[in-house]
Structure 1
Amino acid sequence: MKRVIVGLSGGVDSSVAAYLLKQQGYEVIGLFMKNWHDDSVTISDECPWLDDSNDAMLVAEKLGIPFQTIDLSEQYKERIVDYMFNEYEKGRTPNPDVLCNREIKFDVFMKIALELGAEYVATGHYCKKGIIEKDGRTVYQLLAGEDTNKDQSYFLCQLSQAQLAKSLFPIGELTKPEVRKIASEIGLTTADKKDSQGLCFIGKIKLPDFLQQQLKPKEGLIVEVPKEIETYSETVSEFSSTEEKLKYLSRKIDYNVNSGRIVGKHQGAHYFTKGQRKGLAVGGTAEPLFVIDTDVEENVIYTGQGKDHPGLLKKALFVTNKELHWVREDLALAVDQTMTVKARIRYRQPLENATLYKVESGLYVEFEKPQSAITEGQFVAWYQKEELLGSGIIS
C-alpha cells in the first residue's frame, strides 16, 4: 500500500484521479491547497476557493479518504503573483499556470506530501508519464494525454526528472467524457461541475483590476501601424551564418510613434499583450485591430488591422540559456546541434513543425510557417511524437 497524496482541487478531474488510485490499491490522502485570500479581484461574487474546498471535502468523504486543507498563499504570492507583476511591468506576458505547476504543485506541495510520508503526488492532469531505461539509468517521460482535446502536457513543460519521478497522472489514459461518466457512476458531487476558468487556484479574475493593485494606470497612445511600412517589405538575401539568419528572423521590430497614426489612448501599456484584440476601444477600422507590440518604457501600444498583419507574424524565436529547460536532460542539445521537433507557443495551439538550433547564448526555434503573436514571457514547448522534451521562456 504505497501512500499517494492527491491535490484535490474540488474539480471532477482530481476527484476521479483519487478514486482510480484507491481502486488500484494505493493509500490515498486528499489535500486541498488554499492559495489566495483576496476576493476583491475575483469576478464572481461567490468565493471560489471556499466552494472548491467544500467540494473537495465532500469527494474525500464519499471516497472514504483522509482530507485536509493546507494554506500556501504566502508561497503563491511570492512565487507566482509577484513574478506576474514583475513580468507585466517589464512588458512581458507570463503564464501563471505553467509556473504554478513548477513552483507550487510540484515543488512546495510535493515537498509537504513527501514529508507526510507519501511515495507520490497525483494530480488530475490530462497527460501521461513514461518510464524508460537508458544507459543503465531510469529516465522519465512526459507524454501527451490520450484526450487530444484536453492534453495538458504543455502546462507541465517545466517539470524536472526529479519531479516526474514522484508524480502520477491517473486520468491521462482517459477522455474528459469518460472521466465525467466515472464520476457520475460513483455519485461524486463534482461529476457535472464546470471546468474552472481563470488563474490557477484563484479563479476568474479581472486582470486589469488585479494588475492595478501594483501597476498604476498611466495614460498613453495607441498607434496603428499600416501593413505597408518599409520594415515589413525589406528582405535580406544573404547571411554570413545560420545564427545571423535566425537572429534576423526572431528580431524585435523597433516601432516609434511615427511608424503609424495615433488612433486612441489607453490606461497602461503593461495591461496589454501581443495578439490582444479586446479592450482597445478603438472603432472605425475596416478590420479589427490587434496589438502587435507594446512599449512599456514609452507607454505606447502598437496595433495593426487584421489577424494576418505582418507585425503579428514571425518565423523564429529565441530562448536564453537561463530560461531554457529540458525535461529530457539526456537529449539536451550541445552548441551547433539541431533537432527537428513539433512545437507550440501557447496551450491548445496545434503542434507546428519546427527546428531547434543551439547556439552559445541559448536556443533558437525556427518554425516552418510564420507564427502569430509570438509573445515574450510565454512558454514555447517542443515535442517528438507524443513526448514533450523541453521548453523555454520566449525572450
Structure 2
Amino acid sequence: MKRVVVGLSGGVDSSVAAYLLKEQGYEVIGLFMKNWHDDSVTISDECPWLEDSNDALIVADKLGIPFQTVDLSAQYKERIVDYMFNEYERGRTPNPDVLCNREIKFDVFMKIALDLGADFVATGHYCRKGTITKDGKEVYQLLSGADNNKDQSYFLCQLSQEQLSKTLFPIGELTKPEVREIATRENLVTADKKDSQGLCFIGKVRLPDFLQQKLRPKEGVIVEIPETRPYFHAKAPKFNSKVEELAHFSKKYSYTVSEGKVVGKHQGAHYFTKGQRKGLAVGGTAEPLFVIDTDVDENVIYTGQGKGHPGLYRRTLFVTNDELHWVREDLALPIDGTMEVMARIRYRQPLQKATLYKVDGGLYVDFEQPQSAITEGQFVAWYLEDELVGSGVIS
C-alpha cells in the first residue's frame, strides 16, 4: 500500500481527492497547511483558516484517515508575502498562487510529507499527470485538466520533473459538477462549500488593503494618454534580423506626464496593475479608463480610454534566463531554437498561438495576435496540445 499525503484545504476539491485515493487503496494521510497568523497584516475579521481547518478535520474523520495541521506561516511570509511586497514595490505584479505552489505546496509541504514516509503528495488541482518513456528514462507530463472551465495547469507551471514524479492529481479527469456530486453522495461536509477566493491560503483579502499594511499610501496623479499619440501609429522600421524585430515589438511604450492630461489622483502607483479598470475613480470619459502603465519611481499612473486603447497591446514579451523554467527539461530550446506553441499570460485566458525564440539572454514569446495587458511579474506558460511544457516570469 503506497502512502499518500493529501493537502486537505477544507474545500470540496481536496476532500474528494482524499476520498478517491482511499477508494483506490492508498494509505491516505490528511495534512492542513496553516500559512497565516501575522496580525500586523490583518486581513478582515473573518478567519477563514480556522473554519477551513475545522472542515478538513471533519472530512478526515468521515473518511477515517489520520489528520494533522502543519504551521508553515514563517516560510509563507518569507517566500510569498515578502516577495509580493517586494514585487509590487518594484512596480511588477506577482502571481502568488503560482509561487505558492512552487514554494510552499510542492516544496516545503512536500518535504514534510516525504518525512512522514509518503510515496506521493496529492492535491485537489484540476490537472493531470502523464508519464512517457524517452531514451529509456521516465519523463513526467503536466497535462491540462479534463474540465476546460476549471483547468488549473497554469498555476502549476513552475513545477519540476522531481516534484511531478511524486505528485498525484486525483480529480484531474473529473469536472467540477462531478466532484460536487461525489462529495454530496459521500456526505462530505464540504459538498456545497463555495470555492475560496483571494490569496492562496490567506483567504479573502482586498489587495490594496493588504498592500497598504507594508506599502504606505502616497498621493500621485492619474494621466490619460490619448490614443492619437504618433508612436502608437508609427510604422515598424526595417529590421536586420529576427532578434532585432522581436526586441522592437517586446519593448513597452514609455510615457511622460506632459504627453497626456491629468485626470485624477491616486494613493500609490504600486497598488495598480496594467489592464486594471476598477479603483481609478475617474468619471466623465466617453469610455472607461484602463491602466496602460504605472511608474512607481515617479508615482504616476498612465491610463487610456477603452479596452481597445493601443497602449494596452503588445505582440511580444521577454523572459530572462534566470526566470525561465522548463517543466519538460528535455524540450528546452538551444540558442537560436524556435518552437510553435499555444500560450497564455494569465489564468483562464484562452490559449493563444505563439512562437518561442531562444536567444542569449533569455526567451522571446511572439504572439500571432497582439495581447492585452502583458504585465511584468506575471507568468507566461506555453503548451504543446494539452501539455504545459514551460513557463517564465514576464520581464
TM-score, scaled relative to structure 2: 0.99
Q: Residue in 2 aligned with 1:236?
A: 236
Q: Residue in 2 aligned with 1:279?
A: 279
The answer (yes or no) to whether the contact 2:227–2:304 under 8 Å persists in 1 is yes
Task: Provide structure 2 residue ranges, at least 5 long, that are not aligned to the other structure.
Answer: none
Report the Cα distance in structure 2 between the residues aligned to 1:368 and 1:390, rounded to whole angstroms. Answer: 19
| Residue 12 (structure 1) aligned with residue 41 (structure 2) | no
Q: Residue in 1 aligned with 2:289?
A: 289
Q: Which residue identity lines up with residue 84 of structure 1 in the other structure? A: M
Q: Which residue identity lines up with residue 328 of structure 1 in the other structure? A: R
SS of structure 1 residue aligned to 2:29: strand
Structure 1 residue 237 displacement after superposition:
3.6
The answer (yes or no) to whether the contact 2:220–2:266 under 8 Å persists in 1 is yes
Which residues in structure 2 correspond to 1:147-296 (within 5 Å)?
147-296=147-296
Q: 1:342 to 1:42 in 2, by over 3 A?
A: farther
Report the Cα distance in structure 1 between the residues aligned to 2:193 and 2:227, rounded to whole angstroms. Answer: 45
| Residue 356 (structure 1) aligned with residue 345 (structure 2) | no
SS of structure 2 residue aligned to 1:240: coil
| Residue 371 (structure 1) aligned with residue 374 (structure 2) | no
Q: Residue in 1 aligned with 2:85?
A: 85
Q: Residue in 2 aligned with 1:65?
A: 65
Report the Cα distance in structure 1 between the residues aligned to 2:337 and 2:349, rounded to whole angstroms. Answer: 26
Aligned residues: 395
Q: Residue in 2 aligned with 1:35?
A: 35
Report the Cα distance in structure 2 between the residues aligned to 1:288 and 1:39, rounded to whole angstroms. Answer: 37
The answer (yes or no) to whether the contact 1:316–1:366 under 8 Å persists in 2 is yes
Q: Residue in 2 aligned with 1:334?
A: 334
Q: Which residue identity lines up with residue 108 of structure 2 in the other structure? A: V
Structure 1 residue 381 displacement after superposition:
0.1
Report the Cα distance in structure 2 between the residues aligned to 1:272 and 1:29, rounded to whole angstroms. Answer: 41
Q: Residue in 2 aligned with 1:105?
A: 105
Report the Cα distance in structure 1 between the residues aligned to 2:45 and 2:27, rounded to whole angstroms. Answer: 37
The answer (yes or no) to whether the contact 1:145–1:152 under 8 Å persists in 2 is yes
Structure 1 residue 41 displacement after superposition:
5.6
| Residue 316 (structure 1) aligned with residue 316 (structure 2) | yes
Report the Cα distance in structure 1 between the residues aligned to 2:387 and 2:162, rounded to whole angstroms. Answer: 17
The answer (yes or no) to whether the contact 2:249–2:314 under 8 Å persists in 1 is yes
TM-score, scaled relative to structure 1: 0.99
Report the Cα distance in structure 2 between the residues aligned to 1:6 and 1:109, rounded to whole angstroms. Answer: 10
- Once the two structures are superposed, residues 306-349 of structure 1 have per-residue CA deviations (whole angstroms, 9 ceiling, x without a partner) of 00000001101000000000000000000101000000000000
Q: Which residue identity lines up with residue 303 of structure 2 in the other structure? A: T
Q: Residue in 1 aligned with 2:128?
A: 128
Structure 1 residue 190 displacement after superposition:
0.2
Q: Residue in 2 aligned with 1:391?
A: 391
The answer (yes or no) to whether the contact 1:93–1:377 under 8 Å persists in 2 is yes
- Once the two structures are superposed, residues 282-321 of structure 1 have per-residue CA deviations (whole angstroms, 9 ceiling, x without a partner) of 0000000000000001000000000000000110100000
Q: Residue in 1 aligned with 2:75?
A: 75
Report the Cα distance in structure 2 between the residues aligned to 1:161 and 1:144, rounded to whole angstroms. Answer: 16
Report the Cα distance in structure 1 between the residues aligned to 2:216 and 2:226, rounded to whole angstroms. Answer: 30
Structure 1 residue 220 displacement after superposition:
0.6
The answer (yes or no) to whether the contact 1:18–1:28 under 8 Å persists in 2 is yes
Task: Provide structure 1 residue ranges, at least 5 long, that are not aligned to the other structure.
Answer: none
RMSD after superposition: 0.9
Report the Cα distance in structure 1 between the residues aligned to 2:283 and 2:124, rounded to whole angstroms. Answer: 43
Q: Residue in 1 aligned with 2:52?
A: 52
Report the Cα distance in structure 2 between the residues aligned to 1:42 and 1:213, rounded to whole angstroms. Answer: 8
Report the Cα distance in structure 2 between the residues aligned to 1:69 and 1:40, rounded to whole angstroms. Answer: 23
Structure 1 residue 38 displacement after superposition:
3.6
Could you list the structure 1 runs, at least 4 aligned residues long, displaced by more than 2 angstroms after superposition: 38-46
- Once the two structures are superposed, residues 29-52 of structure 1 have per-residue CA deviations (whole angstroms, 9 ceiling, x without a partner) of 000000001467666532100000
The answer (yes or no) to whether the contact 1:41–1:206 under 8 Å persists in 2 is no
- Once the two structures are superposed, residues 138-157 of structure 1 have per-residue CA deviations (whole angstroms, 9 ceiling, x without a partner) of 10000000000000000000
Report the Cα distance in structure 2 between the residues aligned to 1:187 and 1:41, rounded to whole angstroms. Answer: 36
Q: 1:205 to 1:41 in 2, by over 3 A?
A: farther
Q: Residue in 1 aligned with 2:382?
A: 382
Structure 1 residue 236 displacement after superposition:
2.0
- Once the two structures are superposed, residues 20-78 of structure 1 have per-residue CA deviations (whole angstroms, 9 ceiling, x without a partner) of 00000000000000000146766653210000000000000000000000000000000
Report the Cα distance in structure 1 between the residues aligned to 2:236 and 2:57, rounded to whole angstroms. Answer: 62
The answer (yes or no) to whether the contact 1:42–1:202 under 8 Å persists in 2 is no
